Amino acid sequence: MKNGEVAKILYNIADILELQNVQWKPQAYRKAAQAIESLSEDIEDIWQRGELEEIPGVGEHIAAKVEEFLKTGKLPYYEKLKKEVKINLEELNQIPSLGPKKIKLLYRKLNVKDIKGLEEAIQKHNVQKLAGFGEKTEKTLLEGIQFVKTKPQRFLYVSALPIVNSILKTFRAYPFIHQMEVAGSFRRGKETVGDLDFLAVSAQPEKVMHQFTTMKDVKEVLAKGTTKSSVRLSNGLQIDLRVVNDKEFGSAMNYFIGSKEHNVELRKLALSKGYTLSEYGLFTVKGKKWITGKTESEIYQKLGLQFIEPELRENHGEIAAAQKKKLPDLISSKDVHGIFHNHSTWSDGSNSLLEMAQKAEELELKFISFNDHFGPVGITKPLTEKRLTGYLHEIEKVRKKVGIRVFSGVEIDILKDGTLPLPAKRLKELDVVIASVHLATKMSAVEMTKRVCSVMEKYPIDILGHPTDRVLNERPPINLNLDVVFETAKKHNIFLEINGSPSRMDLPGEHVKNARDLGCQFALSADAHAIGHLPYYSLGVNMARRGWLEKKDVLNCWTLSKIENALKK
């Protein structure tokens, strides 16, 4: 799977061309890179079929370059460009406030090629002598270097959540604020956020800006204007706030929620209909007459579109679907009747089976499924064939003590050789079998795909657990040909897990959508190891929504009898 590699090269080409003041090409390369990055299919397969130019944004010339790279593993055009610039662009581009124009000037005048060179030039105070630069720019760049060196990783959705709630609560209580909302990638339900974006309606913007930039956890004020400010909290999280008037709130929300790619498409669509769209509203191109902007719904309606939920706004076909009134009726947390994949003290959980089941009942769920570890996973006390009887006996006792359905099951290791450590016959005694990869994760895509698919073909399993095995900010996904895995899962009626554990969030939304397009079905889980983890299934709902899922696609939303039927081996 070379999609990522190809996309990265195209992005780098775009950056170099931008540095060379080439017009328009950079955005063409970027658009193609973006499209290739979000493909569900292996680009090599598309190339084999001769369909590279079918990818939106990929035309004759980029297709030829992609083909050359796939065929030979090299791209002389890219090598030539790299030689021309002699600059470590990837490194310098990370520094905030440093773009192509400044990088070019720094190279021309001071021979700065990388962060080290920039640091030296700053220490000699040569940077502030350049035209267009000054003392402050030099200081900002030095701080930027420090920031890159100690760069915090992306923030998990759950760690941003309490900050969002606290800010909303505080600001909504101020009498001079009429409305306050969170936008950005957080609003789109992404698994991680780079920063947080807020939007407020107020007749006294200066007061809002003052309160915002002096919040108690602010470590640094990055920008402060009359209507827009940015701060960084002591934990490194950047927060932006913009104040708008009531009439602009919808258009401003739309702009701030993004994604940028969605906004660009929406603005193009507006232009094609004789309107221009900005954060201030929808206007006619001729005469700049205000049409609407108070609510997002009005804007979408005026553009001839169904309302598009924030989670769908990734420019992955939602605008075309909204034009045809074919958007999905997305699931929500209240549609979820129960949770799969929960651990207890029988393996590495910290609460008993009974405590977990009682908590689920308290959360007004209708079922819980226990799936303690079975197999050589790296924990001290996994289930074994010997202990399985006692475990099932204990589950039977719990069933008599709670008023919800309790499913028995295991999370069993997919072994290196594509088998499971328990024969199919014994698996059939369990209600829910989840098979997951935990060990021997460094394999080629071919081997790993074979390993996972072989288990799906040979054993009576119900759910494929955390399919990519990624851990956010810690571990990349395993090598896997996902399309093949999805096809196999579909063929054998195996549900794909959407694991809501905050640092897993696996499958991610974009893959969920690809699998859904292939006809797969899904099971939401919390991967709870304690009673406090049970609510994590709602994070899985975010991913399900980002993957365009409806109730019919998600096992947890079905009636109990339908679920039991689907789990029969």
Partner DNA sequence: GCCGTTTTCGGCCCGACTGTTTTCAGTCG
Using CB under 7 A, list all residues that contact DNA: 23-25, 27-29, 31-32, 53, 56-63, 95-103, 128, 131-138, 140, 184, 195, 197, 223-229, 240, 258, 260, 263-264, 267-268, 271-273, 276-280
Q: How near is the Cβ of 100 to DNA at its closest, in Å?
A: 5
Rounded (10°) CA dihedral 409, 399, 552, 464: -10
Residue placing its CB nearer to DNA in the complex, 80 or 169: 80
Q: Which residues contact 8 (CB under 8 A, 6 or more apart)?
A: 33
CB of 293 within 8 A of CB of 247? yes
Q: How near is the Cβ of 160 to DNA at its closest, in Å?
A: 15
Q: How near is the Cβ of 187 to DNA at its closest, in Å?
A: 12
Residue placing its CB nearer to DNA in the complex, 194 or 460: 194
Residue placing its CB nearer to DNA in the complex, 32 or 368: 32
The two tokens of residue 322 are 């909204």
Tracing tokens 């306050």 back to the chain, one arrives at 180
Residue placing its CB nearer to DNA in the complex, 104 or 450: 104
Residue placing its CB nearer to DNA in the complex, 238 or 499: 238
CB of 505 within 8 A of CB of 536? no
Q: How near is the Cβ of 121 to DNA at its closest, in Å?
A: 14
Query: 437: closest CA among 515, 339, 506?
Result: 506
Tracing tokens 């939007």 back to the chain, one arrives at 199
Q: How near is the Cβ of 557 to DNA at its closest, in Å?
A: 34
Residue placing its CB nearer to DNA in the complex, 263 or 371: 263
Q: How near is the Cβ of 278 to DNA at its closest, in Å?
A: 4
The two tokens of residue 54 are 């079918």
Residue 361: how many CB atoms within 10 A of its CB? 17
Residue placing its CB nearer to DNA in the complex, 140 or 350: 140
CB of 431 within 8 A of CB of 409? yes
Q: How near is the Cβ of 31 to DNA at its closest, in Å?
A: 7
Q: How near is the Cβ of 87 to DNA at its closest, in Å?
A: 13
Q: How near is the Cβ of 468 to DNA at its closest, in Å?
A: 27
CB of 441 within 8 A of CB of 469? yes
Residue placing its CB nearer to DNA in the complex, 27 or 352: 27
The two tokens of residue 516 are 């859904």
Residue placing its CB nearer to DNA in the complex, 28 or 322: 28
The two tokens of residue 31 are 């658009």
Residue placing its CB nearer to DNA in the complex, 129 or 397: 129
Query: 530: closest CA among 336, 413, 360, 333?
Result: 360
CA angle 250, 256, 261 (to 5 degrees): 110
Residue 48: how many CB atoms within 10 A of its CB? 11
Q: How near is the Cβ of 167 to DNA at its closest, in Å?
A: 17
Residue placing its CB nearer to DNA in the complex, 323 or 332: 323
Q: How near is the Cβ of 98 to DNA at its closest, in Å?
A: 6
In angstroms, the CA 298 to CA 251 distance is: 9
Q: Is 198 helix (H, G, I), strand (E, B) or coil?
A: strand
In angstroms, the CA 360 to CA 100 distance is: 54
CB of 554 within 8 A of CB of 540? no
In angstroms, the CA 471 to CA 477 distance is: 7
In angstroms, the CA 155 to CA 161 distance is: 10
In angstroms, the CA 259 to CA 256 distance is: 8
Query: 64: closest CA among 87, 32, 101?
Result: 32
